[in-house]
């Protein structure tokens, strides 16, 4: 009897970067599908919010396409959600990127820009320092490198939501989790084996 | 790792030299003791050093006890910044030996073309933060063996093969520009980075601070740094100026929440 493939739905809210995420999830055993409208996300074992670009655009698209409401409902109903890069940032309450923008407010805290003298974006491979045990980082020993490319970072209000940090100027939160709402600031689909192990842990957790 | 300026120390017979276009007959000796040069660069703000062995393959007890390895040991003993080293590294054993000496990252050139399985094994053992490649090209084709032999392989093709093996960083040298102070080939390096997903370090021809800025502006597109050789030795600018400029240069792309490429087929492996 083959292992069940969890249905992971990747939300296409026009912020790109979907195919590589889909490929990666399929590689680690998920039935990964792309939803271009909220109805297509029904019945998902887990949702993924990918994303490249600006917070404000991301939130505008999520609202316009009905995904913002759908995500809030799904989370309230207990569906797991994983945000990637700007997909992590929109989980928070607000961001000061190009004005003040409201996020999904699923995690308390805000998003802010790396300040001078730090060069933005923070681009390249950097280390993940695990701060607490969590299914998402179950396969990590700590110190592994992942691929980052971002100019803003989340500042969680609740320290308990910080699963891992990465050093760039300060120790910023690179993996966050609160109940079933999780996020990674780096791109697991671009982070070679480390990224795949993390996605594998996500899929394994969905299966259980 | 932020965008990095790498001062280069090329060594022949234990001395720090500069060549033009890699030609052995176009050598200028700048310093008798590479360790002194290394300390100078560290003092001027270098975050990394790029050391190259120009004396051929490190494949015998003789070469391992020769003046270039001795000079490398002296450099490693003198400085505290990390050192990346290449030139003549042909085996997995040599990679391990260099890492044991204290080299932070070993660069494989010829081997990437002639024996990619060595690259694969070295990566398995030491990982992509400690093993990298150098893709040195003349007219878009990778050259090997001290740039004497031209392969028929386009740089992008070798780059893709290396990426598929798990290589993360690659030096990209435009041989025609190396040592000539004609300006760096940033465009080709960016193209290589975007095509392959490699973090590319630009090399060859850096002449002015404009080359530093031009490279740093494309950090978000995959340029991890720039190697400077001749320009530093002819005082075109100081290393301090280059390091400060690189740190102050913001990539061209507007700084966004997530700055990655939208359509990118992110490299999985």
Structure tokens at B40: 């100078």
Structure tokens at B2: 């932020």
Is the CB of residue A86 less than 8 Å away from at least one CB of chain B?
Answer: yes
- The pLDDT of residue A87 is 95
Each residue's pLDDT tens digit, A141-178: 889 999 998 999 999 999 999 999 999 999 999 999 99
Sign for the CA dihedral angle at B166, B167, B169, B174 comes to: negative
Question: Nearest-CA neighbor of A117 among B245, B35, B81?
Answer: B245
Which band of pLDDT confidence, cut at 50, 70 and 90, is reported for residue B144? confident
The answer to whether A84 and A52 are in contact (CB under 8 A) is no
Structure tokens at B126: 């030491």
Q: What percent of chain B clears pLDDT 70, i.e. is strictly above it?
A: 95
DSSP lists the bridge partners of residue B203 as B173
Which distant-in-sequence residues (6+ apart) come within 8 Å of A131 by Cβ? Answer: A162, A163, A164, A165
Catalytic residue among A85, A101, A122, A144: A85
Which band of pLDDT confidence, cut at 50, 70 and 90, is reported for residue B254? low
Count Cα neighbours of A148 within 13 Å in the Cβ-side half-sphere.
28
Each residue's pLDDT tens digit, B216-245: 988 888 999 999 998 998 888 999 999 999
Report how many Cβ contacts below 8 Å link chain A to chain B.
Answer: 122
Is the CB of residue A7 less than 8 Å away from at least one CB of chain B?
Answer: no
- The pLDDT of residue B267 is 46
Each residue's pLDDT tens digit, A122-134: 888 999 999 999 9
Closest in B128, B248, B266 to A189, CB measured: B266
- The pLDDT of residue A188 is 93
Structure tokens at A174: 């690179």
- Tell me the average pLDDT across B159-187: 90
Interface of B with A (CB under 8 A): 1-3, 128-129, 166, 168, 197, 199, 219-220, 224, 247-251, 253, 255-269
**SS3 annotation, chain A:** CCCCCCEEEEECCCCCCHHHHHHHHHHCCCEEEEECCHHHHCCCCEEEECCCECHHHHHHHHHHCCHHHHHHHHHHCCCCEEEECHHHHCCCCEECCCCCEECCCCCCEEEEECCCCCCCCEEEEEECEECCCCHHHCCCCCCCEEEEEECEEEEECCHHHEEEEEEECEEEEEEEEECCEEEECCCHHHCHHHHHHHHHHHHHHHHC
How many angstroms separate the CA atoms of A64 and A60, rounded? 6
| Ranges B164-173, B177-186, B235-244: which has the least confidence | B177-186
Question: Vertex A52, ends A48 and A56: CA angle to 5°?
Answer: 95
Q: Quick check: B154 pLDDT over 80?
A: yes
Which band of pLDDT confidence, cut at 50, 70 and 90, is reported for residue B262? low
Q: Quick check: B259 pLDDT over 80?
A: no
Separation of CA A127 from chain center: 17
Is the CB of residue A20 less than 8 Å away from at least one CB of chain B?
Answer: yes
- The pLDDT of residue B253 is 58
Which band of pLDDT confidence, cut at 50, 70 and 90, is reported for residue A14? confident
Question: Vertex A47, ends A41 and A49: CA angle to 5°?
Answer: 105
How many angstroms separate the CA atoms of B107 and B110, rounded? 10
**Residue B259 and residue A150: Cβ atoms within 8 Å?**
yes
Question: Nearest-CA neighbor of A62 among A101, A100, A23?
Answer: A101
Question: Nearest-CA neighbor of B226 among B204, B208, B245, B252?
Answer: B204
3-class DSSP state of B89: coil
Structure tokens at A135: 């299914």
Each residue's pLDDT tens digit, A175-198: 999 999 999 999 998 887 899 999
- Tell me the average pLDDT across A53-59: 90
Q: What is the mean pLDDT of chain A?
A: 92
Is the CB of residue A189 less than 8 Å away from at least one CB of chain B?
Answer: yes
- The pLDDT of residue B10 is 94
Q: Quick check: B88 pLDDT over 80?
A: yes
Q: Quick check: A26 pLDDT over 90?
A: yes
3-class DSSP state of B153: strand
Question: Nearest-CA neighbor of B137 among B183, B189, B195?
Answer: B189
- The pLDDT of residue B269 is 37
Which band of pLDDT confidence, cut at 50, 70 and 90, is reported for residue B2? confident
Is the CB of residue A65 less than 8 Å away from at least one CB of chain B?
Answer: no
3-class DSSP state of B149: strand
Which band of pLDDT confidence, cut at 50, 70 and 90, is reported for residue B265? very low
Q: Quick check: B266 pLDDT over 80?
A: no
Active site residue A129: no
How many angstroms separate the CA atoms of B68 and B34, rounded? 9
Q: For chain A, what percentages of helix, strand and coil (3-state, to nearest 5) are there?
A: 30, 30, 40
- The pLDDT of residue A38 is 93
Each residue's pLDDT tens digit, A61-93: 999 999 999 999 999 999 999 999 999 999 999
User: Pick the residue with more confidence: B68 or B20?
Assistant: B68
DSSP string, A139-183: T--S--EEEEEESEEEEESSGGGEEEEEEESEEEEEEEEETTEEE
Question: Vertex B263, ends B211 and A175: CA angle to 5°?
Answer: 90
Closest in B168, B220, B265 to A19, CB measured: B265
How many angstroms separate the CA atoms of A85 and B120, rounded? 30
Which distant-in-sequence residues (6+ apart) come within 8 Å of A83 by Cβ? Answer: A48, A49, A51, A89, A90, A91, A181, A182, A183, A184
The answer to whether B227 and B47 are in contact (CB under 8 A) is no
Active site residue A85: yes
**ipTM confidence:** 0.73
Closest in B197, B247, B255 to A151, CB measured: B255
Q: Is the pTM of this model over 0.90?
A: no
All residues of chain B having their beta carbon less than 8 Å from the beta carbon of residue A24 are 266, 268
């Amino acid at each position: 009897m083959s292992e069940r493939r969890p249905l992971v739905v990747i939300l296409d809210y026009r912020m790109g970067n979907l195919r590589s995420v889909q490929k990666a999830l399929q590689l680690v055993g998920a039935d990964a599908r792309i939803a271009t409208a909220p109805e297509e996300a029904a019945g998902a074992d887990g949702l993924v919010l990918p994303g490249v670009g600006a917070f404000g655009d991301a939130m505008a698209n999520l609202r316009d396409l009905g995904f913002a409401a759908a995500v809030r409902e799904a989370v309230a109903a207990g569906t797991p959600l994983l945000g990637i890069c700007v997909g992590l940032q929109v989980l928070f309450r607000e961001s000061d990127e190009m004005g003040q923008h409201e996020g999904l407010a699923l995690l308390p805290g805000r998003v802010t820009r790396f300040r001078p003298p730090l060069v933005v974006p923070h681009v390249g491979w950097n280390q993940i320092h695990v701060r607490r045990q969590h299914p998402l980082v179950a396969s990590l020993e700590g110190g592994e490198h992942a691929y980052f490319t971002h100019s803003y970072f989340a500042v969680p209000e609740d320290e308990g939501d910080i699963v891992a940090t990465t050093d760039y100027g300060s120790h910023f939160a690179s993996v966050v989790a609160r109940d079933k709402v999780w996020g990674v600031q780096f791109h697991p689909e671009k982070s070679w084996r480390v990224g795949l192990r993390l996605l594998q842990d996500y899929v394994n957790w969905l299966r259980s | 790792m932020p965008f990095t300026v790498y001062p280069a120390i090329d060594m022949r017979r234990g001395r720090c030299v500069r060549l033009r276009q890699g030609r052995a007959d176009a050598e200028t000796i700048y310093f008798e003791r590479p360790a002194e040069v290394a300390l100078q660069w560290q003092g001027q703000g270098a975050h990394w050093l790029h050391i190259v062995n120009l004396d051929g393959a490190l494949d015998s007890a003789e070469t391992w006890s020769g003046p270039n390895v001795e000079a490398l040991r002296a450099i490693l003993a003198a400085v505290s910044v990390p050192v990346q080293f290449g030139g003549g590294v042909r085996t997995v054993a040599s990679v391990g030996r260099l890492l044991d000496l204290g080299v932070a990252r070993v660069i494989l050139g010829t081997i990437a073309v002639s024996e990619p399985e060595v690259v694969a094994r070295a990566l398995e053992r030491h990982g992509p933060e400690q093993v990298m490649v150098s893709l040195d090209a003349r007219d878009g084709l990778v050259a090997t063996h001290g740039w004497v032999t031209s392969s028929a392989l386009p740089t992008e093709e070798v780059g893709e093969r290396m990426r598929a093996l798990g290589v993360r960083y690659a030096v990209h040298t435009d041989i025609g520009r190396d040592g000539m102070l004609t300006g760096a080939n940033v465009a080709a390096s960016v193209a290589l980075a975007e095509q392959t997903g490699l973090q590319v370090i630009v090399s060859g021809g850096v002449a002015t601070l404009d080359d530093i800025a031009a490279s740093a502006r494309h950090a978000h597109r995959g340029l991890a740094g720039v190697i400077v050789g001749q320009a530093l030795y002819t005082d075109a600018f100081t290393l301090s100026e280059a390091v400060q400029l690189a740190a102050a240069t913001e990539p061209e792309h507007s700084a966004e929440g997530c700055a990655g490429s939208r359509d990118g087929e992110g490299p999985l492996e």
